[in-house]
Structure 1
Amino acid sequence: MKEIVSSMAGTVFNILASAGDEVTEGQTILILESMKMEIPVESTGSGKIAEIRVAVGDFVNEGDVLATLE
């Protein structure tokens, strides 16, 4: 399993992928909001989303696991 982690602290603004979705490396899977900026979070590899571990409105810290890939 590959983990997709947050590169910075922020609030989950939008989730663009769901568990079971096939994604490619570099594809945006969710968007964080920090200091009024929207920061895309990209998949670290190709595969199927096993789990999205956050919900819209959740606050995350740098290094938190946001999703996992199978």
Structure 2
Amino acid sequence: MKEIYAEMAGTVFQLLVNEGEQIEEGQVTVVLESMKMEIPVESKFAGEIKKIHVSEGDFVNEGDILITIG
């Protein structure tokens, strides 16, 4: 399993994928909001979304797991 981590602290502004969905490397999966800026979080891997660990509105810290890819 591979994981997508938050690269900075912020609020989950938007989830752009669903569990079970196939994604491509470089695809934007989550948009974080930090200091009134929107930060897209891209996947470094292609594969199937196995688990989404956050919901829109959740606060995350740098290094928190956002998504698991299988």
| TM value normalised by structure 2 | 0.98
Distance of 1:27 and 1:10 partners within structure 2? 20
Residue equivalent to 1:26: 26
Residue equivalent to 1:2: 2
Distance of 2:33 and 2:57 partners within structure 1? 10
What is the percent sequence identity of the aligned residues? 59
- Gaps spanning 5+ residues in structure 1: where? none
Whether 1:15 aligns to 2:15 is yes
- Gaps spanning 5+ residues in structure 2: where? none
Distance of 1:19 and 1:44 partners within structure 2? 17
Residue equivalent to 2:64: 64
Runs of 4 or more consecutive aligned structure 1 residues displaced over 2 Å after TM superposition: none
SS of residue paired to 1:17: coil
Query: Alpha carbon RMSD of aligned pairs, Å?
Result: 0.4
Distance of 1:19 and 1:41 partners within structure 2? 16
Q: 1:7-34 deviations in whole A, cap 9, x for unaligned?
A: 0000000000010010001100010000
SS of residue paired to 1:13: strand
Q: How far 1:50 sits from its partner (Å)? A: 0.3
